[in-house]
Amino acid sequence: MTVAEQMLTTHPRAGAGADTAALVRCIEACVECAQACTACADACLSEEMVADLTACIRKNLDCADVCATTAAVLSRQTGSNTDVLRAQLEACRAACASCAAECETHAQMHEHCRVCAEACRRCEQACAELLGAL
């Protein structure tokens, strides 16, 4: 059991929300994607062809920020903030889709873009599934 799952199942309000498995998957996907995007922005920055990767770096940085915030909002169960949760999940889905599409165009040339695009697609999917379960 991962730490995120342990934290969720030991919460005083554990089980109060809809779908714990979808929630854990989404938190973990957001956390993983935020780190991958931070690292991919920096890897792009170290490429000789950095001038061709500036749009990718910008999308990486946006996606890293959005995913980190989404993971934090998802990690909270106190009270209820469903409208905000839903809107932030939509923003995260959009950020992951945008960053994945950009990284995929460089995936054959840069392995870090391939790994990052896959993390973005997993997170986009996890957000979509959680939105469907809310």
Q: Decide: 112 and 44 in contact? Cβ < 8 Å.
A: yes
Residue 22 or 27 with smaller CB distance to its own copies: 27
User: By CB under 8 A, what part of segment 86-105 binds its own copies?
Assistant: 87-88, 90-91, 93-95, 97-98
> Least distance from C-beta 52 to its own copies, angstroms?
10
The structure tokens listed for 73 are 């909002």
21 binds its own copies (CB under 8 A): no
Residue 118 or 129 with smaller CB distance to its own copies: 118
Measured CA angle at 119 (ends 115, 125), to 5 deg? 145
In the chain, the amino acid numbered 134 is: L
46 binds its own copies (CB under 8 A): yes
107 binds its own copies (CB under 8 A): no
d(CA 8, CA 2): 10
Residue 12 or 132 with smaller CB distance to its own copies: 12
131 binds its own copies (CB under 8 A): no
54 binds its own copies (CB under 8 A): yes
> Least distance from C-beta 71 to its own copies, angstroms?
6
Compute and round to an integer the Cα radius of gyration of the chain.
16
Nearest to 43 by CA among 131, 104, 123, 111: 111
Q: Which of 15, 18, 21, 45 binds its own copies (CB under 8 A)?
A: 45
Nearest to 125 by CA among 8, 22, 18, 1: 22
